[in-house]
Amino acid sequence: MNAEDRFALLERLEQLRDSKVLVYFSYTPLDDRILVPLYQQLKEIGPTRKIDLVLHSFGGAVDTPFKVVSLVREFCQEFAVIVPFVAKSAASMLVLGADEVVMGPLSELGPIDPLVKHPVYKDLWVPVQAVRYCLEYLQRSISSSPDSEVATSISTPILDKLDPWLIGDYEKTLKASRQYAEALLSRYMLKDSPEKVPVVTEALTEGYFSHGYPIGRREAQELGLNVIEADDELWSVIWQLYLGYEELFDK
Amino acid occupying residue 217 = R
CB contact burial 55-67 (16+ within 10 A = b; e otherwise): bbbbbbbbbbbbb
Residues 6+ apart with CB under 8 A from 168: none
The span from the CA of 249 to the CA of 233, in Å, is 24
Binned at pLDDT 50, 70 and 90, residue 185 comes out as very high
Does 178 or 156 have the greater pLDDT score?
A: 178
pLDDT at residue 64 greater than cutoff 80: yes
Sign for the pseudo-dihedral over CA of 45, 51, 54, 56: positive
pLDDT at residue 119 greater than cutoff 90: no
The span from the CA of 94 to the CA of 69, in Å, is 7
Question: Residue 63, CB half-sphere, CA atoms under 13 Å: how many?
Answer: 4
Does 169 or 249 have the greater pLDDT score?
A: 249
User: What pLDDT sits at residue 44?
Assistant: 95
pLDDT at residue 199 greater than cutoff 60: yes
Q: Mean pLDDT, to the nearest integer, of 139-163? A: 62
CA 168 to chain centroid: 23
Q: Phi and psi (nearest 5°) for 119?
A: -65, -20
Binned at pLDDT 50, 70 and 90, residue 92 comes out as very high
Q: Mean pLDDT, to the nearest integer, of 22-35? A: 94
User: What pLDDT sits at residue 130?
Assistant: 63
Q: Phi and psi (nearest 5°) for 77?
A: -95, -30
Does 25 or 126 have the greater pLDDT score?
A: 25
CB contact burial 189-222 (16+ within 10 A = b; e otherwise): bbeeeeebbeebbebbbeebeebeeebbbeebee
Is 77 strand, coil or helix? strand
Of the candidates 36, 41, 44, 64, the residue with the CA atom closest to the CA atom of residue 53: 41
The span from the CA of 69 to the CA of 214, in Å, is 23
Instruction: Pick one of 3.90.226.10, 3.40.640.10, 3.30.1180.20, 3.20.20.140 as the CATH number of 3-116+167-250.
Output: 3.90.226.10
Binned at pLDDT 50, 70 and 90, residue 174 comes out as confident
Angle between helices 164-184 and 129-144 (to 10 degrees): 120
pLDDT at residue 226 greater than cutoff 90: yes
